Amino acid sequence: MAVGDITSQVCIERRSGHQFEWARPARFFVLGTCIVLAPQGPTLKVWYGYLDRWFGAQGRRGAFKKVLVDQALFAPTFTVVFLTSLGVLQRKSFGQIKEQIKRDYVDIVLAGYMVWPAVQVVNFSYVPLHLQVLVVQTFALFWNTYLAWKTNRELEASPDLDKR
């Protein structure tokens, strides 16, 4: 996740030198290793195993069912966990975290719905189960860049958040 934040700062936000905020990739590193990757890697492996058992390992129909369930259950839950964890690492109050969730949740979930279903249809249709987490984590490099940009862009646009 830290690579996503560095990419966001350098390539999208055009930060360099003294403008670069090292605390941001540090927070994303903690998110990625402790909150997302450590539990999510094994969680996704188990989750994809359940999806395979419920809907079958092969076929387009099964892949579409897996995507539907994955996007209906996993994606919205992950977004709340991500925004809450990021807020805690940013030392925000409960009220500030709640406001950020209100502000960013729908945009992030909708953006995810534009990206992840296509990735997952291919993933569930053509990639063997034991490699599916790797495929998702590869695409997550780009997704994490978006998350870093989105969550920090809103902070810059709303300086009054720190006053609450």
pLDDT digits (tens, 9 = 90+) for 2-32: 777 777 778 777 877 788 888 887 887 887 7
User: Please, are residues 29 and 85 in contact by the beta-carbon 8 Å criterion?
Assistant: no
Q: How many contiguous H segments (helices) and E segments (strands) does the chain have?
A: 7, 0
Chain-wide mean pLDDT for the chain?
Answer: 85
Q: Which of 39 and 70 is assigned the larger pLDDT?
A: 70
Range of the domain at 34: 2-153
Q: Do the domain assignments include residue 159?
A: no
**Residue 130 pLDDT:** 93
**DSSP3 helix / strand / coil % (the chain, rounded to 5):** 90, 0, 10
Mean per-residue pLDDT, 78-93: 92
50 and 73 in contact (C-beta within 8 Å)? no
How far apart are alpha carbons 141 and 119 in whole angstroms?
13
Q: Is residue 46 part of a domain?
A: yes
160 is a domain residue: no
Is 158 a domain residue?
no
Residue 39 lies in a domain: yes
pLDDT tens digits, one per residue of 115-161: 999 999 999 999 999 999 999 989 988 998 999 899 887 555 555 54
Q: How many domains does the chain have?
A: 1
- Cα(first)–Cα(last) distance of the chain, in Å? 28
pLDDT of residue 164: 44
Selection from 101, 59, 64, 66 nearest residue 83 by Cα: 101
Q: Kindly state whether residue 161 falls inside one of the protein's structural domains.
A: no
Question: Would residue 11 count as lying in a domain?
Answer: yes
